[in-house]
């Protein structure tokens, strides 16, 4: 459990950080060094890499066919002959379904954040840089969506649009765009007030050039770090939608949907029924810790 | 003070109008005819047109919106397509059940989260801090619907200590403040409390660390104030923000409890939303979301106002 203690690596990271500042090897290199020195973040990063590996190579790694059901071998316990992690309510090998389900589960959780990162950054940077009535119009609209608790908005949108992968991705993107746009607007407004932006404008640069050359490089980093902190939330919400029957449809293997169908087995095979949730939990912890590590590595004030 | 109050309200009103517009748009975003769930598949075009007139779906959209808002302001949220009962009374019933759960969960989460946060902030870098930080990372990372299942497995399926689903021995019909009914609340409330607990612990830890680093703490220590005395000052400075976070979390839980309520078959707003979605009961869906979102906006407003009353520095900002 020592690897999960944040205090010691933080001290190491700080030492590395101050050394890095003295040598001044460039901002991103020092961020990388601080991140490498953060043992918790590195461990989380390894877990994320392993999950991405499962997502890419899952179909070849799974010991059995995740769709092959067997009426005679339903709800086998963990460790049963040929079923290392038991079988589900249709007699499909749970280990294989968990492995193959990684791809769809990660896709459903990460895609909305990436889409919202692109759209939200664009909206936020526009609002932050334009200022004035453009800013007011955009930000007041965003406030309206911000006024919904995210779970409620996600479920309301998916509920109205209907179940399915595309609708689930769409709803979650709409949930995260306002959150990212708010952060993007704040950092852009801050960057806009800097002297070098003033200098660029004084020397005749147009708005587009200023944003591309002087603003983007300074705001995309912080917005990206914020976006990474949303991945865990998005994964939980995405599998939550599937858990409610609003996301991925059967028989596709996806962790939230697996939890939903295994709920009936809660009294007969409780340990097997809880397993898909363990995958969601581990994934979300790993993304949260990695995002925390990234944030403190990018915080060059420390 | 009055001007602050008016400014906050003036800021909230357009948001409320926007929220109403989004809720209204939801129904028209939905694919298919909103009446599809009650019309028999072989209904004549004449009958369909009649029903459409009855529910007002034949009017132009802006007119429908204004009429809908006007009725909602008078407490009429329309009629549930599936049950034929007024949406407002169904929602009110469910909000009561959810509120009971959310208040208990927020209370548990606030007490435990503050304790963890204070300990972690006071003893930064020590093992209690690491433990509290670990717990709060676990708290914000856990899929709470899965935690609910684990709770059911641990305390119901394996041990049989507590009932797993429902809101009372006779289903969800009645409620009384006794153990017979209270035990049904325990598992869902404990599960739900994990959400505010992690967030409050994180907030309080950051607050305490920030306050302890300020010069007036050094000043208080230098003038010989005891640790208990310093602690009182820390609490006083941390309280407004911590309470604000608690208020927001309560509002969040009201709308965010749907997944947990589903796991425990709790007859609250989540349950209502769920049935509205799967029966394609659009007036019910619209009404439930409207009430929950308005609750959230009003709670935000109240938190803002109370916070500026507690801490005059905020009002000026």
pLDDT at residue B229 tops 70: yes
Q: Cβ contact (<8 Å) for B150 and A274?
A: yes
What is the model's pLDDT at position B132? 82
Q: Cβ contact (<8 Å) for A273 and B125?
A: no
Q: Cβ contact (<8 Å) for A5 and B157?
A: no
ipTM summary value: 0.84
B30: contact with A, CB 8 A cutoff:
yes
Chain B, 148 to 207: residues with Cβ < 8 Å from chain A are: 149-150, 152-153, 157-158
Q: What is the pLDDT of residues B176-198, one digit of tens each?
A: 666 667 778 888 888 999 888 88
Q: Tokens 């289903």 belong to which residue?
A: B171
Residues 6+ apart with CB under 8 A from B77: B71, B86, B87, B88, B91, B283, B286, B287, B290, B291
Nearest chain B residue to A291 by CA: give it. B137
Q: What is the pLDDT of residues B29-88, one digit of tens each?
A: 776 666 666 666 666 777 777 777 776 777 777 888 888 888 888 888 888 877 778 888
Q: With pLDDT > 70 as the criterion, what percentage of chain B qualifies? A: 88
Chain B, 97 to 136: residues with Cβ < 8 Å from chain A are: 125-126, 129-130, 133-134
pLDDT at residue B317 tops 50: no
The Cα of A162 is separated from the nearest Cα of chain B by a number of Å equal to: 7
Structure-derived torsion over alpha carbons of residues A149, B243, A233, A11, reported in degrees to the nearest 10: 160
Q: What is the pLDDT of residues B86-143, one digit of tens each?
A: 888 888 888 888 888 899 999 999 999 998 888 888 888 788 888 888 888 888 889 9
Residues of A in contact with B30 (CB under 8 A): 160-162
Nearest chain A residue to B125 by CA: give it. A7
Quick check: B295 and B251 in contact, CB under 8 A? Answer: yes
Rounded distance between C-alpha atoms, residue A283 and residue A285, angstroms: 6
Rounded distance between C-alpha atoms, residue B19 and residue B9, angstroms: 15
Q: Cβ contact (<8 Å) for A141 and B18?
A: yes
The Cα of A12 is separated from the nearest Cα of chain B by a number of Å equal to: 13
What is the model's pLDDT at position B167? 67
Quick check: A38 and A10 in contact, CB under 8 A? Answer: yes
Quick check: A108 and A130 in contact, CB under 8 A? Answer: no
Per-residue pLDDT tens digits of chain A, which is 302 residues long: 333 333 344 444 444 444 434 445 577 788 888 888 888 888 999 999 999 999 998 888 878 788 887 777 777 788 777 778 777 777 788 888 889 889 999 999 999 999 999 999 999 999 988 888 998 889 889 988 888 888 889 988 888 888 889 999 999 999 999 999 999 998 988 888 888 888 888 888 888 888 888 788 888 888 998 999 999 999 999 999 999 988 888 888 899 999 998 888 888 888 888 899 999 999 999 999 999 888 888 875 54
What is the model's pLDDT at position B40? 65
Q: What is the pLDDT of residues A70-106, one digit of tens each?
A: 777 777 788 777 778 777 777 788 888 889 889 999 9
Calculate the alpha carbon distances from A288 to A44, A201, B7, B114, B269 in Å. 8, 39, 37, 21, 29
The Cα of A214 is separated from the nearest Cα of chain B by a number of Å equal to: 29
């Amino acid at each position: 459990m020592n690897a999960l203690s944040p205090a010691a690596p933080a001290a190491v990271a700080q030492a590395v950080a101050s050394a890095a500042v003295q040598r001044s090897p460039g901002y991103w290199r020092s961020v990388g060094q601080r991140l490498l020195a953060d043992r918790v973040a590195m461990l989380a990063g390894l877990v994320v890499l392993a999950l991405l590996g499962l997502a890419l190579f899952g179909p070849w790694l799974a010991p059995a066919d995740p769709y092959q059901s067997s009426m005679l071998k339903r709800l086998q316990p963990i460790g049963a002959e040929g079923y290392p992690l038991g079988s589900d309510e249709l007699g499909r090998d749970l280990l294989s379904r968990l492995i193959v389900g990684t791809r769809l589960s990660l896709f459903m959780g990460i895609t909305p954040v990436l889409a919202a990162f692109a759209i939200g950054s664009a909206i936020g940077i526009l609002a932050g840089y334009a200022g004035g009535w453009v800013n007011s119009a955009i930000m007041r609209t965003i406030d309206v969506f911000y006024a919904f608790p995210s779970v409620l908005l996600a479920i309301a949108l998916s509920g109205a649009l209907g179940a399915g992968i595309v609708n689930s991705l769409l709803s979650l993107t709409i949930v995260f765009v306002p959150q990212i746009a708010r952060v993007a607007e704040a950092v852009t407004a801050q960057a806009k007030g800097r002297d070098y932006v003033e200098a660029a404008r004084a020397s005749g640069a147009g708005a587009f050039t200023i944003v591309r050359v002087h603003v983007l490089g300074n705001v995309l980093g912080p917005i990206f770090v914020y976006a990474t902190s949303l991945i865990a939330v998005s994964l939980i919400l995405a599998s939550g939608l599937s858990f409610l029957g609003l996301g991925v449809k059967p028989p596709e293997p996806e962790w939230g949907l697996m939890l939903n169908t295994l709920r009936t087995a809660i009294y007969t095979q409780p340990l097997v029924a809880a397993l898909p949730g363990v995958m969601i939990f581990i994934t979300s912890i790993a993304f949260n810790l990695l995002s925390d590590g990234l944030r403190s590595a990018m915080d060059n004030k420390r | 003070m009055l001007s602050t109050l008016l400014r906050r309200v003036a800021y909230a009103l357009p948001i409320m109008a926007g929220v109403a517009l989004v809720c209204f748009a939801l129904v028209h975003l939905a694919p298919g005819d909103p009446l599809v769930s009650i019309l028999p598949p072989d209904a004549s075009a004449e009958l369909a047109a009649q029903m459409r007139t009855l529910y007002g779906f034949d009017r132009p959209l802006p007119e429908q919106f204004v009429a809908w808002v006007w009725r909602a302001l008078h407490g009429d949220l329309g009629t549930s397509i599936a049950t034929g009962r007024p949406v407002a009374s169904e929602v009110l019933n469910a909000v009561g059940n959810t509120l009971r759960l959310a208040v208990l969960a927020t209370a548990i989460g606030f007490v435990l989260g503050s304790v963890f946060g204070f300990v972690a902030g006071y003893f930064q870098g020590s093992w209690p801090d690491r433990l509290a930080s670990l717990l709060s990372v676990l708290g914000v990372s856990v899929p709470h619907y899965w935690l609910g299942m684990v709770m059911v497995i641990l305390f119901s399926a394996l041990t049989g200590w507590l009932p797993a689903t429902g809101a009372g021995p006779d289903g969800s019909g009645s409620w009384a403040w006794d153990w017979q009914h209270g035990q049904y609340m325990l598992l869902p409330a404990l599960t739900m409390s994990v959400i505010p607990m992690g967030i409050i612990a994180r907030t309080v830890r950051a607050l305490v660390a920030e306050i302890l680093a300020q010069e007036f703490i050094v000043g208080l220590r230098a003038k010989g104030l005891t640790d208990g005395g310093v602690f009182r000052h820390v609490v006083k400075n941390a309280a407004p923000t911590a309470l604000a976070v608690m208020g927001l979390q309560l509002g969040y839980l009201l709308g965010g409890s749907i997944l947990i309520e589903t796991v425990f078959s709790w007859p609250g707003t989540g349950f209502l939303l769920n049935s509205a979605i799967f029966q394609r009961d659009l007036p019910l869906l619209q009404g439930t979301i409207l009430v929950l979102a308005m609750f959230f906006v009003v709670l935000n407003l109240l938190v803002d106002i109370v916070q500026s009353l507690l801490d005059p520095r905020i009002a000026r900002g």
